[in-house]
Copies of this chain bind each other. A is one copy, B any other.
Amino acid sequence: MPESGNNTLILKGNIIYAKSPEELICSDRSYLVCEDGRCAGVFQTLPEAYAGIPVTDYGDHLIIPGLVDLHLHAPQYAYRGLGMDLELVDWLERVTFPEEAKYAEITYAARAYETFAEQMKQTATTRMVVFGTVHAEATLLLARKLSEAGFGAYVGKVNMDRNAPESLCEESATASFTATMDYLRKFTFLKAQGKISDRVQPIITPRFIPSCSRELMDDLGELARQQGLKVQSHLSESKKEIAWVSELEPDCDFYGACYARAGMMGNPVPSVMAHCVWSLPEEVQMMKEGDVFIAHCPQSNTNLASGIAPVRHYLTEGLHVGLGTDIAGGFSRSIFRAMADAVQVSKLYFRYVDQKKQPLTLSEAFHMGTMGGGAFFGNVGSFLPGYEFDAVIIDDTGLASVLSMNLAERIERVMYMPELCSVTAKYVSGERVL
């Protein structure tokens, strides 16, 4: 038992967290201890060592690890739930690109990102891996807003030097690369000034292969390697997109190989790839070897009629899988909803694609939305000792009924009906942010 001091925080309530994809730990009216921003343990009776330290008692509320959103686009927040009749490539051209172009104007970006950060703060999400736009200034502003709202986040200025409308396309690979260098420099400067917290970091963000020339990809990959940066992008989302990639990059045997050629498919560069709906066996093998994270975005993949990612297969293969809302391919900002969506589409996959692939369980979905995605941030997403202390307090009295329910039942209902619950408090790395 570590000695307890000023940096100790103790919460009491109904504690629920994942220990593994198969094991959900539920501990009624227990104590959750934080020491120096990290979990020190969950106890049914408070150990002697902590006697005298004030306990914040959340009564019958639920205490769970903060949720992790591995993939979303902040500039698309303003119009989520619009244009849902379109497929990926059409949707990008008709809805997304014209809107993202507006972020060249910093006052527009400020209004939109202020709303984004404030509204996301009310959700159970504590960590996110997020796309901005190609605009460095607007994306730095996004990083500041997320920092002020207390999030842990990787925030990426997007790179696009081809196949984008004039208003968004960067002039050349060099121009795009230079803008990213500028973004990174200013990011460091804002951190030094204390305007961006240590929990918010930049990330290299080529939009996807159709938007990035080989030269640009090579330069960005080299940069990530040299500066120890992580990478986020999109991979094998829709069949039309995949056909386009193979037309653009005939030298790559498959989509993921284009990222690999630039050194962006994992080790030594940590990467997260959104979607992976149609990944070929070679691509899956490559992700496995590179410890690449998959951001599973079930709602977006349904909305854009892309398909259903074979998550059961990925889990069996031991790949790293987390969840993403993919705002605004997904309309919902809730990772609880993403958990429910993941279970739901896995049932349709089972029914229509492969009856040997068992649907995902509640516990697997909860794990993906916390510990699974959290691993991209380090020891994040659980209350196991040593994990960063991200905790969310959930009031689920809106779900009360004539039946009394145990904690596993209550968290299942929260997952399916998060709109009837509220987040009453939130901690990130031990700091109270809501």
Residues of A within 8 A of B (CB): 77-82, 84-85, 99, 108, 111-112, 115, 299, 302-303, 305-308, 331-332, 343-345, 347-348, 350-353, 359, 361-362, 399, 401-403, 405, 409, 412-413, 415-417, 419
> A109 CB to closest chain B CB, in angstroms?
9
> A407 CB to closest chain B CB, in angstroms?
13
A417 close to B359 (CB less than 8 A)? no
B84 close to A401 (CB less than 8 A)? no
Residue from B99, B347, B352, B401 in contact with A352 in the complex, judged by beta carbons closer than 8 Å = B352
A331 close to B362 (CB less than 8 A)? no
A345 to B305 Cα, complex, angstroms: 9
A-B residue pairs in contact (CB < 8 Å), sample of 15: A78-B403, A79-B401, A81-B415, A82-B405, A82-B413, A84-B362, A99-B403, A108-B402, A115-B402, A302-B344, A303-B344, A305-B359, A307-B348, A307-B352, A332-B417
**CB contact under 8 A between A81 and B412, given known A115-B402, A344-B303, A347-B302:** yes
A105 to B362 Cα, complex, angstroms: 32
A348 to B348 Cα, complex, angstroms: 8
- List the B side residues contacting A417 at CB < 8 Å: 80-81, 331-332
A308 close to B111 (CB less than 8 A)? no
> Nearest chain-B residue to A420 (Cβ)?
B419
A416 close to B81 (CB less than 8 A)? yes
**CB contact under 8 A between A352 and B353, given known A85-B359, A115-B401, A115-B402:** yes
- List the B side residues contacting A362 at CB < 8 Å: 84-85
> Nearest chain-B residue to A349 (Cβ)?
B352
A353 to B108 Cα, complex, angstroms: 43
A409 to B299 Cα, complex, angstroms: 19
> A365 CB to closest chain B CB, in angstroms?
10
> Nearest chain-B residue to A352 (Cβ)?
B352
**CB contact under 8 A between A348 and B115, given known A79-B401, A81-B416, A412-B84:** no
**CB contact under 8 A between A347 and B82, given known A111-B402, A115-B402, A402-B108:** no
